[in-house]
Amino acid sequence: MQSRYEVAVAKSKLKPRKASVSASRVAEVAGVSRSAVSRTFTDGASVSPETRAKVLAAAEKLGYHVNHLARGLIHHRSGIVCLIVAEMQTPFQASFVEAATRRLQDKGKVVMVLNTAGQPANVEAALRQTLNYRAEATVVVSGAPPLSLVETCIENGQRVILINRDDAIEGPQFLMIENEAAATEACFMLRRAGCTRLAVVSSTAGTPSIVARETAFVAAAKSAGIEVAVSRAGPTGYASGAESARQLLAGSNRPDGVFCVTDLLALGFLDATRIEFRLRIPEDICVIGFDDISAASWLGYDLTTFRQPIAEIADYIAEMLDEDEGGPAKVRFPVHVVWRKTVRP
Amino acid sequence: MQSRYEVAVAKSKLKPRKASVSASRVAEVAGVSRSAVSRTFTDGASVSPETRAKVLAAAEKLGYHVNHLARGLIHHRSGIVCLIVAEMQTPFQASFVEAATRRLQDKGKVVMVLNTAGQPANVEAALRQTLNYRAEATVVVSGAPPLSLVETCIENGQRVILINRDDAIEGPQFLMIENEAAATEACFMLRRAGCTRLAVVSSTAGTPSIVARETAFVAAAKSAGIEVAVSRAGPTGYASGAESARQLLAGSNRPDGVFCVTDLLALGFLDATRIEFRLRIPEDICVIGFDDISAASWLGYDLTTFRQPIAEIADYIAEMLDEDEGGPAKVRFPVHVVWRKTVRP
DNA sequence: AAAGATATTGCACTGCTGTGCAGATAGATG
DNA sequence: CATCTATCTGCACAGCAGTGCAATATCTTT
């Protein structure tokens, strides 16, 4: 009894929801068979012009739209691409989502955004959703996916693309930014500007990108015989950058060249340095950021930074999903220096 | 022959794509009927503990996940909510998408993001996609939807939610920000700070929100007997704000109180004012923005602005979609002043 | 132990669309 | 006019999962 009752409740909650018009309804109105309707909306199918016209007229009149859920069921292709992302209100992530949705739509795909809200546990739930909706591909922009689930996705015919990760697993495609090369270049740029006391401003987030940039910068400096001060004041953001400035500049041995692993960190660092410590940039301290978010080019900042090739990555993903064969397992994208005014030339 | 050939080509393009595991496969492995599998994954259905265990074991082993496309087909509920949005890399839009995806996911929905890429024509295509995927609801965050299509959506049982629009049409729900009240308040704040020469910095975008704020500010000033200088230097963004500063401050009768209809405009205005004209804020000019994007609270800006209740709106949408009956046709959300340092108290 | 109540289970049908196949129609050709 | 062919058309089945209904198994009660 109990369970019956629950069923009833569930049913009433999963209310009918006025059914939408189907192909059979259109066929009825147009006076043709349902097959004819289906063929009218299938590229390259054989329908006479008259039938086609009748169908289109009826469809227009009824407001018929092909049910992609049913279509996907047959073709084993839902047309859905999932984007798993956290912190999507931050400039960099937001730009990526924007670029990806645009490019994928151009290729006829549709994007489902799964927000992990920063909770690592949610990544698993998100991957399960990609399976539930039979997504053709999943792009993991942030977060650490459970590898066993990634394997399940691949076994189920899904393409899996991991951005800026480097796990030891066969199957997914890895798209990576040349973080190390950029960090090494940053070190070189600062040294050439005459900086001798280097620091790196990082965060406690510990994502692969952040760690790679931080580590590579320290290594590059070390190989030039320079010890680097590392500051991680909190999560990756403006406030942490400002806090790092307070920590690094309070001491006596203050740095004169700083690499911030993210533009947001850099902007916070810049503001605190100028406003709270009244230091001049780049005269007293040179600063380099990473990402080239739009605020980096604002009048008050003019931040020298590295541009991530967001559009190129989005293009690459869209192109690749269009092809039958997946591309190479690992692709690295170069970053480019954007020279502005926070480093002496 | 021609068409047959095309069919063949199309078929080869719509390649099989390794089929994913289905309930019948699980039933086979578990040694039960397909119904039992279905019941195991249906809340409140009647299955014995042993059967359930066998099914779960087989499902786990095979990596089975219920096909929500098929499930949606039966229930007439896809679980999909569409967000139609443009310019989603801007701070405000990005925050809204973030909040909406999070709240809707909490309610068991999944969000499909349709990027109109700023092309008005794409709004129509986006609405068609919502119909194709049988979305339960569509939230139009930006862009002007063709009203006839909106009607089609509603006739097909879809909920349609328009943000900051005011069209004369029955059916959709309108969620609106108290733009007028805020703009009027902004005028009052500036006058109380002793400003006598007012200006409004707007944009050429002409979206309803922008226009409403601009118009209400001008009207409020007029009723106080003040003529307002209006500047629209370009699209809604930092660069236009800076350009507006150049236009407004170049003349002799420079304003001493400025309402920028968007924070991005305000930040551009602030920077150009301070850096290029060497004016002090708030001593020489008071500035008020709108949105309370995160950059507004950065050290260098400290912008007095209005906070849009993003979280509340997202909550409201999520709650409302959960209920059977749609809420009232129009709901207005209040905005709150965030006092910082760009207006004299 | 027999009858009645209850919990499970499987069958078969539904929802929506795509498509192979066979039959029908129209057009071309000798 | 008869025959062949190219083009359409409709039937029927497939793809996946949910569910009413009837049959079966299990347990309770007298």
User: Using the beta-carbon criterion (under 8 Å), do B20 and A157 form an inter-chain contact?
Assistant: yes
CATH number of A78-177+310-334: 3.40.50.2300
In angstroms, rounded to a whole number, what is the distance separating the alpha carbons of residues B172 and B95? 23
Inform me whether the C-beta atom of residue B136 falls under 8 Å from chain A C-beta atoms. Answer: yes
In angstroms, rounded to a whole number, what is the distance separating the alpha carbons of residues A296 and A300? 9
How much is the mean pLDDT over chain A? 92
User: Using the beta-carbon criterion (under 8 Å), do A271 and B298 form an inter-chain contact?
Assistant: yes
- The per-residue pLDDT for range A16-32, each reduced to its tens digit, is 467 789 999 999 999 99
Supply the DSSP string of A57-75, one letter for each residue: HHHHHHT----HHHHHHHH
Residue that the structure tokens 């109105």 belong to: A29
Residues 6+ apart with CB under 8 A from B62: B21, B25, B26, B29
H/E stretch holding B84 reads strand B80-85
| Distance, Å, A73 CA → C16 C1' | 9
Which residue of chain B has the CA closest to A119? B102
CB A3: neighbour CB atoms within 10 A?
12
**What does the pLDDT read at residue B283?**
96
Point out the residue among A46, A70, A112 whose CB comes nearest to the CB of B110: A112
Residue A268 has phi, psi (to 5 degrees) of -65, -40
Residue A11 has pLDDT above 50, yes or no: no
Percent above pLDDT 70 for chain A: 95
Residues 6+ apart with CB under 8 A from B215: B183
Tokens of B47: 């299955």
Region(s) of chain A under CATH 3.40.50.2300: 78-177+310-334, 179-308
**Residue A155 C-alpha, separation from nearest chain B C-alpha, in angstroms:** 8
Q: Where are the alpha helices (DSSP H) in chain A?
A: 2-13, 23-30, 34-40, 49-62, 68-75, 91-106, 120-132, 147-155, 179-192, 208-223, 238-250, 263-271, 310-322
* Domain A18-66 class, CATH top level: mainly alpha
Which residue of chain B has the CA closest to A155? B20
- The per-residue pLDDT for range A246-288, each reduced to its tens digit, is 999 998 899 999 999 999 999 999 999 999 999 999 999 999 9
* Domain B77-177+310-333 class, CATH top level: alpha beta
Region(s) of chain A under CATH 1.10.260.40: 18-66
**What does the pLDDT read at residue B19?**
73
Inform me whether the C-beta atom of residue A35 falls under 8 Å from chain B C-beta atoms. Answer: no
Q: By three-state DSSP, how is residue B152 classified? A: helix
Per-residue pLDDT of chain B (345 residues; tens, 9 = 90+): 233 223 333 333 334 467 789 999 999 999 999 999 999 999 888 899 999 999 999 999 999 999 999 999 999 999 999 999 999 999 999 999 999 999 999 999 999 999 999 888 999 999 999 999 999 999 999 888 999 999 999 999 999 999 999 888 888 999 999 999 999 999 999 999 999 999 999 999 999 999 999 999 999 999 999 999 999 999 999 999 999 999 999 988 999 999 999 999 999 999 999 999 999 999 999 999 999 999 999 999 999 999 999 999 999 999 999 887 777 889 999 999 999 999 998
Residue A12 has pLDDT above 60, yes or no: no
Compute, in degrees rounded to 10, the torsion defined by CA atoms B126, B130, B132, B137.
Answer: -170
Q: Count Cα neighbours of B95 within 13 Å in the Cβ-side half-sphere.
A: 14
Inform me whether the C-beta atom of residue B132 falls under 8 Å from chain A C-beta atoms. Answer: yes
H/E stretch holding B223 reads helix B208-223
Task: Read off the DSSP letter of residue B343.
Answer: S
Supply the DSSP string of B304-340, one letter for each residue: BEEE--HHHHHHHHHHHHHSSS---SEEEE--EEE--
Q: Is the CB atom of residue B18 positioned under 7 angstroms from any atom of strand D?
A: no
**What does the pLDDT read at residue B4?**
28
Does B282 sit behind a cis peptide bond, omega within 30 degrees of 0 on the bond before it? yes
Q: How many angstroms separate the Cα of A258 from the Cα of each of A43, A195, A209, A250?
A: 58, 9, 18, 15
Task: State mean pLDDT over A306-328.
Answer: 90
Residue A43 has pLDDT above 70, yes or no: yes
The answer to whether the beta carbons of residues B69 and B84 sit under 8 Å apart is no
Q: Closest nt to B46 (CA→C1')?
A: C8
Q: Is the CB atom of residue A42 positioned under 7 angstroms from any atom of strand D?
A: no
- Asked whether the CA dihedral A244, A249, A251, A256 is positive or negative, the reply is positive
* B179-308 CATH choice from 3.40.50.2300, 3.40.50.620, 3.40.50.360, 3.30.110.70: 3.40.50.2300
**What does the pLDDT read at residue B59?**
95
Task: State mean pLDDT over A198-225.
Answer: 96
Region(s) of chain B under CATH 3.40.50.2300: 77-177+310-333, 179-308
H/E stretch holding B94 reads helix B91-106
Inform me whether the C-beta atom of residue A121 falls under 8 Å from chain B C-beta atoms. Answer: no
Q: Closest nt to B50 (CA→C1')?
A: C8
Region(s) of chain B under CATH 1.10.260.40: 2-66
Tokens of A241: 């950058």
**What does the pLDDT read at residue A158?**
94
Q: Of A44-53, A153-162, B32-41, B240-249, which gets the smallest average pLDDT?
A: A44-53
All residues of chain B having their beta carbon less than 8 Å from the beta carbon of residue A156 are 18, 20-21, 63, 65
User: Using the beta-carbon criterion (under 8 Å), do B131 and A20 form an inter-chain contact?
Assistant: yes
**What does the pLDDT read at residue B17?**
63
Helices (H) and strands (E) in chain B, counts: 13, 12
Optimal mutation site among B97, B138, B244, interface A, most CBs of chain A within 10 A: B97
Superfamily classification of domain B2-66: lambda repressor-like DNA-binding domains (1.10.260.40)
**What does the pLDDT read at residue A17?**
63
Which residue of chain B has the CA closest to A102? B115
Residue A1 has pLDDT above 60, yes or no: no
Instruction: Tell me whether residue A328 is exposed, middle or buried, using C-beta atoms within 10 angstroms of its C-beta: 0 to 12, 13 to 18, 19 or more.
Output: exposed
- Chain A stretch 158-217, residues whose beta carbon is closer than 8 A to a beta carbon of chain B: none
Q: Closest nt to A39 (CA→C1')?
A: C18
Point out the residue among B113, B128, B298 whose CB comes nearest to the CB of A113: B113
Q: Closest nt to A33 (CA→C1')?
A: D10
All residues of chain B having their beta carbon less than 8 Å from the beta carbon of residue A7 are 44-45
Q: How many angstroms separate the Cα of A342 from the Cα of each of A229, A254, B23?
A: 19, 17, 60
Task: Read off the DSSP letter of residue B277.
Answer: S
User: Using the beta-carbon criterion (under 8 Å), do A298 and B70 form an inter-chain contact?
Assistant: no
User: Using the beta-carbon criterion (under 8 Å), do B156 and A63 form an inter-chain contact?
Assistant: yes
- The per-residue pLDDT for range A90-119, each reduced to its tens digit, is 999 999 999 999 999 999 999 999 999 988
In angstroms, rounded to a whole number, what is the distance separating the alpha carbons of residues A40 and B53? 46
**Residue A218 C-alpha, separation from nearest chain B C-alpha, in angstroms:** 29
Residue B128 has phi, psi (to 5 degrees) of -60, -40
Q: Closest nt to A21 (CA→C1')?
A: C16
| Distance, Å, A122 CA → D25 C1' | 42
